[in-house]
Amino acid sequence: MTTALTTSLTAARRAVPRDPLARAAAAVLALIVLGTLAAPLVAPYDPDLPDLFNTLGYATPGHWLGGDALGRDVLSRLIWGARPTLLGPVLVIAVSAVVGTTLAITAAWCGGWVDMVVSRVLDVLFAVPGIVFALLSVAVLGPGLMPVALGLTVAYTPYVARVVRGAALRERNLPYVAAAWVQGRPAVTICVRHLLPNLRPIIVAQAVSALGYAVIDLAAISFLGLGVQPPTPDWGLMVKSGLDSAMRGNPIEAVAAGVAIALAVCAVNVLGDRLGRDR
Partner 1 sequence: MKSQTKPQTKSLLNPTARFVLLRLVGLAAVLLVASFLVYGLLYLVPGGPMAFLLGNRTGTPEQIAAIRAQYHLDDPFLVRYFSWLGDALGGDLGRSLVYRQDVTTLLATRAATTLWLVVYSSVLIVVGGLAAGTLAALRGGRTDAAVTGVSSVLLATPVFVIGVVLVIVFARGLGWFPVFGAGEGLWDRVHHLTLPALTLAVGSAAYLARITRASVREEMGREHVETARSRGLAETRIVRRHVLRNAAVPVTTVIGLTVAGLLAGAVVVENVFALDGIGSLFVRAIMQRDFAVVQAVVLVLVASFVVVNLVVDLFYSVLDPRMAR
Q: Which parts of this chain interact with partner 1 (CB under 8 A)? A: 123-124, 127-132, 135-136, 138-140, 143, 212, 216, 219-220, 223-226, 236, 239, 242-243, 246-247, 251, 254-255, 257-258, 261-263, 265-266, 269-270
Q: Cβ of residue 129: shortest distance to partner 1, in angstroms?
A: 4
Q: Which lies closer to partner 1 via its Cβ, residue 22 or residue 105?
A: 22
Q: Cβ of residue 247: shortest distance to partner 1, in angstroms?
A: 6
3-state secondary structure the chain: CHHHHHHHHHHHHHHHHHCHHHHHHHHHHHHHHHHHHCHHHHCCCCCCCCCHHHCCCCCCCCCCCCECCCCCEHHHHHHHHHHHHHHHHHHHHHHHHHHHHHHHHHHHHHCHHHHHHHHHHHHHHHCCCHHHHHHHHHHHHCCCHHHHHHHHHHHHHHHHHHHHHHHHHHHHCCHHHHHHHHCCCCHHHHHHHHHHHHHHHHHHHHHHHHHHHHHHHHHHHHHCCCCCCCCCCCHHHHHHHHHHHHHCCCCHHHHHHHHHHHHHHHHHHHHHHHHHHHC
Q: Cβ of residue 185: shortest distance to partner 1, in angstroms?
A: 33
Q: Which lies closer to partner 1 via its Cβ, residue 191 or residue 239?
A: 239
Q: Which lies closer to partner 1 via its Cβ, residue 74 or residue 261?
A: 261
Q: Which lies closer to partner 1 via its Cβ, residue 174 or residue 259?
A: 259
Q: Are 157 and 204 in contact (CB under 8 A)?
A: no
Q: Cβ of residue 191: shortest distance to partner 1, in angstroms?
A: 27
Burial code of 85-123, b = ≥16 C-beta within 10 A, e = fewer?
bbebbbbbbbbbbbbbbebbbbbbbeeeeebeebbeebe
Q: Which lies closer to partner 1 via its Cβ, residue 158 or residue 190?
A: 158
Q: Cβ of residue 83: shortest distance to partner 1, in angstroms?
A: 18
Q: Are 104 and 164 in contact (CB under 8 A)?
A: yes
Q: Cβ of residue 123: shortest distance to partner 1, in angstroms?
A: 8
Q: Which lies closer to partner 1 via its Cβ, residue 80 or residue 223?
A: 223
Q: Cβ of residue 86: shortest distance to partner 1, in angstroms?
A: 14
Q: Cβ of residue 246: shortest distance to partner 1, in angstroms?
A: 5
Q: Which lies closer to partner 1 via its Cβ, residue 105 or residue 275?
A: 275
Q: Which lies closer to partner 1 via its Cβ, residue 7 or residue 269?
A: 269
